[in-house]
Amino acid sequence: MKITRVETIATRGPRRKAFGQVSRTALGPAEFSLHGLVFIETDAGLTGIGEMASCFTRRGPLLCRETDALLTPVLLGQDPRRITALTERVDAALFGAEPAKAGVEMALWDILGKSLGQPIHALLGGKVRERVPLSYSIPFGTPEQMARFAAETARAGFRTVKVKLGQGRAEDIEAVGRVRDAIGPGHRLRVDANMAWRTPKEAIAIIAAIEPFGVELVEQPLPPRELDGLAEIRRSVRVPIMVDESVWGPRDAAEVIRRGAADVVNVYVAEAGGIHKARRIFELCESFGVPCIIGSMPEHGIGTAAQIHLGVAMTNLGYDSDTCGVLYHEEDLLRTPLRIEGGFAYAPDGPGLGVEVDMDVVERWRERG
């Protein structure tokens, strides 16, 4: 089997609004998800699909251009089932741009699964759980708005809510307290600073103030490379520290572990550069007794399906995960929606990713010009 064609499409998918306004976090406003889709065709009549998802500056249109210019030439004529070998070729052709590589690799897994008649989770060794327990994020708003949203989320079946912080010390502390009151003691509460705090001292003070509210995890309190600062925070507080933006691959995870910078690692298929490297992060962390969760950019249905396949197959999934990116959008681009209900996500059991794209939605979302 050989790859005969690679096509990319940049998309602009509308995000759901929160509190009647564009959703905001410390990363900024998010009116749309600017992602990219990749379709890899073969001479066997099989087509693999993948999603290039990023909420950072390198987004869909640029990721598509880099794939077209630099990755397509090293893929054409190759056997798509040789995923490890093609991953090395792709890494050699393009430095960085892990979400682009993840989209390509996702499509290769999709082809492999289709060629064997097996879902991706079976190719990863099979399910160790039937479903992935979910966390849902509460964006910026007034503390009252965030508390109401959190209560609605809890009533919808989510066992864990994640409060986005970075609006200012007083407002952040009030928001966490009001959310705890709204969801009650029976639900888990974690927070995500999205790198908003600038110093360990600032982070430690805020964490100490919210600790009485029963915070499960504090995610990415400092910028990505501040590993010594993260280690200082970890030594100074009782709430476990989780890193996200600090880990863009297995080597990053190894350095985080070596420096004692985190209790938990949030693994992204997009940030890792694909399912294979995300799995390596899971296994590396497991070797050192560091649990993982799976994070979201948030993806549409293609990327979310890949995350769920990974999630049901990994033994080192220690906390509820963010594998419900489709719920942050006004609609999705799959013909048949993913099964996400009662606070859990279920992996499709069809071959490959087990999903089919609705091209009418893709055409409406297509970025032109």
Domains of the chain: 3-119+358-365 (3.30.390.10), 123-346 (3.20.20.120)
- C-alpha closest to that of 105 among 312, 324, 303: 303
Q: Are 367 and 355 in contact (CB under 8 A)?
A: no
Distance (Å, rounded) from C-alpha 130 to C-alpha 347?
Answer: 8
- C-alpha closest to that of 207 among 229, 182, 184: 229
The residue whose two tokens read 């640029």 is 62
The count of other CB atoms within 10 Å of the CB of residue 155 is: 9
- C-alpha closest to that of 350 among 317, 301, 314: 301
Residue ranges of the chain with pLDDT lower than 50? none
Beta-bridged to residue 11, according to DSSP, are: 35, 366
Phi–psi pair at 350, nearest 5 degrees: -75, 170
Distance (Å, rounded) from C-alpha 289 to C-alpha 70?
Answer: 38
Beta-bridged to residue 334, according to DSSP, are: 357
Phi–psi pair at 190, nearest 5 degrees: -125, 165
Q: How far apart, in Å, are the Cα atoms of 239 and each of 62, 204, 235, 296?
A: 38, 10, 10, 22
Note the pLDDT tens digit of each residue in 176-197.
999 999 999 999 999 999 999 9
pTM of the model: 0.96
